Amino acid sequence: MIIGLKVRAQQFTEYDLKAAYVYNFSKFVKWPDQAFSNDTSKFVITIIGESPITPVLFQALKNKKVMNRSIKIQVIDRVEDIGKTHILFVSKDMQTQITNIIKVTEHKPILVVGDIIEGFCQNGGIINFTQKSSKYRFEINNISAQNAGLKISSKLLALARIISSEEIKF
C-alpha cells in the first residue's frame, strides 16, 4: 500500500465530451464517394455560430485523421458560407436559423449535428445532443441521414434515441 498517494480522475468538460462524440460520429457514419473531391481531400468539420466547442475541437482533433484524411476545422457565422463540409456542428445561438440551415444542407452529404437544440431532429437535423437529464446523450433522425446519402452504423443508432421528422409536434 502506498501511503499519501493521491490519484485523481481526469475531469472532462461537457464540450470535451461533445468533441469526442463528434470525432467518433465520423467513425460510425459512411459518406458517399461524391462527398469528397478526390482521394486526398480533407475531412471538413464546420462549426456554425459561437460555441464553447470551437477551441476544444481544434485542440482535440489536432493531428487526428478521419478515413485516412486530414481534418480541417472551420468556423462560420452565416448559413450561406456552409459550402463543402462533412460535419456541420450547429451551436445553440443558431437556433433561430435552424429552418434555413436544414434547407441549405438537405439532401447533401453533411452530418448536421445540433447542440441541445429543441426540435432539431424533428425538423430535419441528423444528430442532436440532449440535456443531461436524458437517458440518451444524443438523438438521431436516421431518415434525414439517409436522405443526405449518409449511412449510420447500427452500433451508433443503438446508443441514441431515434427521432423521426414525422413525429407529431404538440
Residue 96 has pLDDT above 70, yes or no: yes
| CA-wise closest residue to 92 among 134, 47, 60, 133 | 47
Q: What whole-number distance in Å separates Cα of residue 33 and Cα of residue 132?
A: 36
Model pLDDT for residues 30-61, shown as the tens digit of each residue: 999 999 999 999 999 999 999 999 999 999 99
Banded model confidence at residue 168, pLDDT cuts 50, 70, 90: very low
Q: Nearest-5° angle of CA 42, CA 91, CA 145? A: 60
Q: Is 32 helix (H, G, I), strand (E, B) or coil?
A: coil
pLDDT at residue 6 in the model? 55
**14-160, CATH topology level:** Rossmann fold (3.40.50)
Model pLDDT for residues 116-140, shown as the tens digit of each residue: 999 999 999 999 999 877 778 999 9
Q: What whole-number distance in Å separates Cα of residue 94 and Cα of residue 82?
A: 13
Model pLDDT for residues 67-88, shown as the tens digit of each residue: 999 999 999 999 999 999 999 9
